[in-house]
């Protein structure tokens, strides 16, 4: 069945081009754009995205090609390459006959445009995915706390926050082992955590980033318990 | 203005100076004069007392010298839309009896990091000028100004009867300054910090404890939701308990829901509440027995006066339904920090049938907007902010939500809508369904995006807005626009005072249409558009009537700016670049910011700013 496809393209340049005549058309790439099904109630099929690349060039690389972006035309060393939108009404073509790249390109998401979108800085980063909340339990305390591991840049900061949160603690760095101590009764607490695999680990064993990635919950264990649970033995293996 | 009538010994014409002869007057009842000027001035002054609109007062002051003097003598509220339009000394020379002042500093694009740090807008010279000239000052309103702790100290120490301070989008001060205001301004009624960047320091001062601790306070409004530093909660609780007049209370993020509870049971008379985090922060450790959670819903139900609700800065969604008892009374609800989805949102919004102002995140999706449209028939203002402020092909809200709102909320007057995609059809529908629109700000985050369905530019949509919404005064455009869109704006946007343009347009004709057509344009802010010198020149006849023009990353050249500066000597033409520039722009100016001014180039301009 013959259908016409409306192809829409997006301008993705960071700043508008100047009036220099040596910008040349490099290539046009047709890429299907994903559309969520509930939104496309009006069109019968999702539009495709075509990226038209234009760059400044001194070579003769100006032929129109259908191909993936990133071909040798890009290596012109152009300071300012950008893509231009035009409407291409591809009449009479069946979608399946188009040589479509399945790579969905959102070039603009890679470029950091200053001050765009016009949202004030404290309103940015509202996405939950930025948070890495884990529960912190202290043996013997009635309340759990939640900490957002994304907020800290390292173990020292994390321990400091425990000091603040559970104000009875003081950090006691003994021989590079991280421990917390309650000065009132001299009880030592060892920070431990449960990782993705359900294993009980000592906080500080793995590099920070790996810890943030794998930590599920944190438990400040009384030192006596830590010894008896064979924590130190498992560390040696 | 009772002192004007007290005892008649006052000699009016001593104020005016030139031209009139001084003479004493016996008493109010025996007032006789051979100098009709004095009588006239007295009469005018007594009449002008009732004139509050600054536009009317401006008109009055232009009638003649006598009226100018009378008006200057009786003006008590001062509004200065651009702190660099006039020097403080000229203000204090002209007006002698100012009780309240409103000052605005940086242009709005400063909010989006487009203005270099240290550009200016310092409050300090104003603080000192007013400390000398206006001892009876009661109110200060500042927007986008740099206010230091020292400035707050000056305020705290200089004005005996100081009552209100409102700082919006300001920065440069911290808890030290706040403590000074709290301790010294014994008559303080209003302390509002709105979207300020309050400096965080190593030693935070416990400013809440600095309010007078004895007796009751006069506090009516205390808003500090933007302050990051935790406040002393016990002191806050005591403060609220002895502030019987407190109507507005906006708490900051560290305040937990349990602490909120303690406050609202002490202040059932509140009308405006900012909830703080709306999060318990702690979780009951299951093994350790049960601790009773307060009955939040009952506490909210007891707050019969609350009409405006905001906060929810780190909302724990399971607590959201506790506000339902309040919803029937709400006229304003701000959820713009609450990442709640449609499922969590709908059960709450369906009770808010009196809502007039609604701010939220796009996490509520088109579905949530439909729920708003179904319930909030009285809605006047809507703002939808993006949870994830980046360009994507799709987003949680779209033309579907906009259309739903337009169909359900016919009384809409103001909208700010962030989305990734839009259609002309939806925008046209809104223009027809919501003819009362005064503010239309559509931000299609994907730059240069055309109509998602037709692939056409968004010209017709915005054209319909300016054509059908005859009361429109503020417009922000986005998406792919050609000269045609701007030609519509110029043709129909006769009442438009503020216009924001970004990543649009074909060329100079667009700018030309706007500058020639929008006869009431006051504020023009443009970024990343192909507008150049000839477009700029076409506005020469208007720039003296405008508050400012901002053009960044456009195609104006230094030569073009020089030409404007040459032709319009009372226009301050500033050119500068942002801090980190990638590559040269050649002859093109990075940022042009120009504004009219009665005084010479500002003395505090930093090195990187060139004033032509």
pLDDT single digits (tens) B303-362: 999 999 999 999 999 999 999 999 999 999 999 999 999 999 999 999 999 999 999 999
Q: What is the chain A residue with the closest CA to B291?
A: A142
- How many Å lie between the alpha carbon of B305 and the closest alpha carbon of chain A? 29
What are the two backbone dihedrals, phi and then psi, of residue A164, each rounded to the nearest 5 degrees?
-70, -40
Residue A115 and residue B418: Cβ atoms within 8 Å? no
How far does Cα B181 stand from its chain's mean position?
22
pLDDT for res A164: 74
Residue A128 and residue B339: Cβ atoms within 8 Å? yes
pLDDT in tens, B280-308: 887 655 444 455 789 999 999 999 999 99
Give the whole-angstrom CA distance, residue B600 versus residue B572: 8
A contacts of B198 (beta carbons < 8 Å): none
Structural tokens at position A14: 């960071």
A contacts of B391 (beta carbons < 8 Å): 106, 108-109, 117
pLDDT for res B303: 93
Ramachandran quadrant class, B321 (left: phi over 0; alpha: psi -120 to 50; beta: rest): alpha
Indicate the average pLDDT of chain B.
91
B contacts of A15 (beta carbons < 8 Å): 528, 553
C-alpha to C-alpha distances, A46 to A33, A36, A95, A96, B398, nearest whole angstrom: 7, 9, 10, 13, 16
Residue A143 and residue B285: Cβ atoms within 8 Å? yes
Q: What is the chain B residue with the closest CA to A130?
A: B388
Report helix, strand or coil for A128.
Answer: helix
Cis peptide before A117 (omega within 30 of 0): yes
Q: Which residue has the higher pLDDT, A38 or B221?
A: B221
Q: Which of B29-38, B330-339, B497-506 has the lowest mean pLDDT?
A: B29-38
Q: Which of A127-136, B199-208, B307-316, B371-380 has the lowest mean pLDDT?
A: A127-136
In this prediction, residue A68 has a pLDDT band, given cuts at 50, 70 and 90, of very low
Q: Which of A170-174, B136-140, B387-391, B588-592 has the lowest mean pLDDT?
A: A170-174
- How many Å lie between the alpha carbon of B257 and the closest alpha carbon of chain A? 15
B contacts of A120 (beta carbons < 8 Å): 111-112, 195
- How many Å lie between the alpha carbon of B218 and the closest alpha carbon of chain A? 31
B contacts of A12 (beta carbons < 8 Å): 447-448
In this prediction, residue A216 has a pLDDT band, given cuts at 50, 70 and 90, of confident
Q: Provide long-range contacts, Cβ within 8 A and 24+ apart, for A227-235.
A: A229/A200, A231/A190, A231/A192, A231/A200, A231/A202, A235/A202, A235/A205
pLDDT in tens, B104-147: 999 999 999 999 889 999 999 999 999 999 999 999 999 999 99
Strands (DSSP E) contained in B81-152 are 100-104, 139-143
In this prediction, residue B547 has a pLDDT band, given cuts at 50, 70 and 90, of very high
Q: For residue B114, give the nearest of A16, A115, A127 by CB distance.
A: A115
Q: Is the pLDDT of residue B214 over 80?
A: yes
Residue A144 and residue B285: Cβ atoms within 8 Å? yes
* Helices B459-468 & B483-492 angle (0-180, nearest 10): 0
Q: Which of B10-14, B170-174, B369-373 has the lowest mean pLDDT?
A: B10-14
Q: Which of A123-127, A186-190, B364-368, B401-405 has the lowest mean pLDDT?
A: A123-127
A contacts of B389 (beta carbons < 8 Å): 117, 119, 123-124
pLDDT in tens, B555-593: 999 999 999 999 999 999 999 987 655 556 778 899 999
Contact B369, B335 (CB under 8 A): no
Q: Which of A44-58, B325-339, B384-398, B582-596 has the lowest mean pLDDT?
A: A44-58
Strands (DSSP E) contained in chain A are 5-9, 23-32, 48-56, 82-84, 88-90, 133-138, 143-148, 170-174, 177-182, 187-195, 200-202, 215-222
C-alpha to C-alpha distances, B231 to A185, B204, B212, B252, B255, nearest whole angstrom: 30, 9, 16, 8, 8
A contacts of B387 (beta carbons < 8 Å): 126-127
pLDDT for res B39: 78
The pTM of the full predicted model, rounded to 2 decimals, is: 0.74
In this prediction, residue B57 has a pLDDT band, given cuts at 50, 70 and 90, of confident
Range with the largest mean pLDDT of A38-47, A112-121, B33-42, B448-457: B448-457
Q: For residue B195, give the nearest of A79, A120, A135 by CB distance.
A: A120
Residue B394 and residue A128: Cβ atoms within 8 Å? no
pLDDT for res B13: 38
pLDDT for res A172: 63
- How many Å lie between the alpha carbon of B341 and the closest alpha carbon of chain A? 12
């Amino acid at each position: 069945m013959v259908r016409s496809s409306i192809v829409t393209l997006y301008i993705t340049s960071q700043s508008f081009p100047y009036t220099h005549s040596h910008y040349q058309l490099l290539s046009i790439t047709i890429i299907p754009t994903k559309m969520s099904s509930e939104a496309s109630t009006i069109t019968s099929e999702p539009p495709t995205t075509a990226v038209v690349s234009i760059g400044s060039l001194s070579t003769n690389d100006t032929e129109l090609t259908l191909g993936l972006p990133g071909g040798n035309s890009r290596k012109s060393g152009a300071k300012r390459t950008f893509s231009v939108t035009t409407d291409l009404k591809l009449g009479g073509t069946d979608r399946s006959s188009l040589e479509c790249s399945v790579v969905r390109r959102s070039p603009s998401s890679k470029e950091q445009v200053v001050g765009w979108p016009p949202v004030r800085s404290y309103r940015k980063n509202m996405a939950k995915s930025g948070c890495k909340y884990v529960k912190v339990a202290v043996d013997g305390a009635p309340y759990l706390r939640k900490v957002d591991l994304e907020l800290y840049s390292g173990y020292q900061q994390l321990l400091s926050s425990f000091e603040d949160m559970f104000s009875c603690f003081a950090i006691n760095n003994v021989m590079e082992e991280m421990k917390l101590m309650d000065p009132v009764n001299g009880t030592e607490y060892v920070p431990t955590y449960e990782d993705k695999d359900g294993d009980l680990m000592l906080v500080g064993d793995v590099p920070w980033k790996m810890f943030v990635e794998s930590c599920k919950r944190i438990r400040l264990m009384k030192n006596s318990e830590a010894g008896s649970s064979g924590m130190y033995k498992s560390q040696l293996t | 203005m009772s002192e004007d009538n007290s005892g008649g010994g006052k000699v009016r014409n001593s104020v005016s100076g030139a031209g009139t002869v001084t003479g004493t007057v016996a008493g109010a009842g025996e007032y006789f004069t051979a100098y009709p000027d004095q009588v006239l001035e007295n009469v005018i002054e007594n009449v002008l007392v009732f004139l509050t609109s600054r536009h009317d007062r401006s008109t009055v002051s232009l009638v003649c010298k006598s009226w100018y003097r009378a008006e200057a003598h009786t003006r008590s509220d001062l509004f200065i839309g651009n702190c660099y339009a006039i020097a403080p000394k000229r203000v204090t020379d002209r007006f002698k009896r100012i009780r309240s002042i409103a000052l605005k500093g940086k242009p709005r694009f400063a909010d989006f990091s487009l203005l270099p740090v240290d550009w200016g807008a310092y409050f300090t010279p104003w603080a000192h000028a007013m400390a000398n000239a206006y001892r009876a000052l009661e109110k200060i309103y500042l927007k986008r100004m740099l206010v230091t702790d020292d400035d707050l100290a000056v305020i705290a120490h200089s004005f005996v009867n100081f009552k209100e301070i409102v700082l919006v989008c300001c920065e440069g001060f911290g808890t030290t300054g706040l403590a000074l205001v709290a301790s010294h301004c014994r008559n303080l009624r209003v302390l509002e910090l709105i979207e300020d960047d309050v400096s965080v320091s190593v030693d935070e001062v416990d400013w809440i404890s600095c309010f007078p601790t004895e007796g009751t306070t006069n506090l009516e409004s205390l808003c500090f939701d933007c302050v990051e530093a935790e406040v002393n909660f016990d002191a806050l609780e005591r403060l609220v308990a002895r502030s019987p007049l407190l109507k507005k209370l906006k708490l900051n993020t560290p305040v937990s829901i349990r602490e909120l509870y303690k406050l609202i049971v002490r202040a059932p008379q509140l009308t405006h509440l900012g909830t703080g985090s709306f999060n318990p922060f702690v979780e009951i450790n299951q093994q350790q027995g049960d601790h009773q959670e307060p009955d939040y819903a009952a506490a909210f139900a007891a707050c019969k006066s609350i009409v405006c609700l905001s906060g929810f800065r780190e909302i724990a969604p399971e607590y959201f339904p506790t506000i339902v008892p309040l919803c029937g009374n709400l006229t304003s609800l701000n959820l713009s920090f609450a990442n709640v989805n449609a499922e969590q949102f709908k059960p709450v919004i369906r009770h808010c049938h009196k809502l007039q102002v609604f701010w939220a995140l796009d996490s509520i999706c088109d579905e949530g907007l439909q729920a708003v449209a179904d319930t909030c028939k009285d809605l006047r203002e809507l703002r939808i902010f993006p949870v994830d402020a980046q360009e994507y092909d799709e987003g949680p809200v779209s033309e579907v939500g906009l259309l739903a709102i337009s169909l359900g909320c016919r009384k809409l007057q103001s909208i700010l809508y962030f989305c990734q995609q839009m259609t002309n059809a939806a925008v046209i529908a809104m223009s027809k369904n919501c003819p009362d629109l005064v503010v239309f700000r559509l931000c299609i985050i994907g730059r240069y995006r055309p109509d998602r369905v037709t692939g056409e530019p968004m010209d017709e949509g915005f054209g319909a807005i300016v054509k059908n919404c005859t009361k429109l005064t503020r417009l922000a455009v986005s998406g792919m626009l050609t000269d045609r869109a701007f030609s519509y704006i110029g043709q129909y946007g006769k009442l438009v005072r503020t216009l924001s343009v970004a990543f649009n347009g074909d060329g100079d004709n667009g700018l030309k249409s706007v500058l020639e057509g929008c006869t009431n344009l006051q504020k023009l802010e443009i970024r990343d558009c192909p507008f150049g010198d000839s477009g700029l020149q076409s506005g020469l006849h208007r720039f003296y009537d405008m508050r400012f023009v901002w053009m960044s990353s456009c195609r104006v050249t230094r030569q073009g700016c020089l030409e404007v500066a040459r032709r319009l000597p009372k226009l301050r033409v500033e050119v500068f670049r942002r801090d980190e520039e990638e590559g040269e722009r050649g002859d093109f100016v990075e940022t042009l910011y120009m504004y009219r001014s009665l005084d010479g180039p500002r003395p505090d301009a930093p090195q990187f700013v060139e004033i032509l």
